[in-house]
């Protein structure tokens, strides 16, 4: 299988499909995501599209995302900090299914920085929505 060496809109969408299929099946993450996103495929398609726009903005610099991801996480019912590691592990697995190793590592580095910022805001600063 040819691994992607360039990040583009199409492979970001593929990443969303692969990653969120894993999230929906994960016994821990699904407990958080299913109530927040919904049970039906249409809700998940909307979620993947929105988060895909977030990653297009983060990775490609396209000004296509208009949400408040930290606020969305702060508004969730409390969940264990360790689930960020579960999320990152599934994200890493998904990245490595699509991208060449250096590209996957670069994206994962950005995702890890975002996760760290969210954890500081949620658990260390004790800001809640």
The pLDDT value recorded for residue 2 is 84
pLDDT at 128: 53
Tell me, what's the pLDDT at 116?
96
Tell me, what's the pLDDT at 100? 98
Q: Please report the sign of the dihedral spanned by the C-alpha atoms of residue 87, residue 93, residue 99, residue 100.
A: positive
In this prediction the pTM is: 0.93
pLDDT of 125: 83
Q: Kindly give the confidence (pLDDT) of every residue in the chain, 129 residues in length, as a single tens digit, with 9 standing for 90 and above.
A: 689 999 999 999 999 999 999 999 999 999 999 999 999 999 999 999 999 999 999 999 999 999 999 999 999 998 999 999 999 999 999 999 999 999 999 999 999 999 999 999 999 986 555
């Amino acid at each position: 299988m040819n691994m992607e060496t360039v990040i583009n809109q199409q492979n970001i969408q593929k990443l969303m499909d692969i990653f969120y299929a894993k999230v929906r099946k994960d016994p821990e993450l699904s407990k958080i995501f299913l109530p927040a996103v919904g049970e039906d495929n249409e809700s998940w398609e909307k979620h993947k599209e929105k988060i895909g726009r977030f990653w297009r903005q983060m990775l490609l610099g396209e000004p296509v995302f208009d949400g408040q991801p930290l606020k969305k996480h702060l508004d969730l019912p409390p969940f264990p900090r360790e689930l960020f590691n579960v999320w990152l592990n599934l994200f890493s697995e998904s990245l490595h299914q699509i991208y060449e190793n250096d590209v996957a590592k670069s994206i994962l580095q950005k995702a890890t920085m975002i996760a760290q910022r969210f954890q500081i805001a949620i658990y260390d600063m004790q800001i809640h929505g």
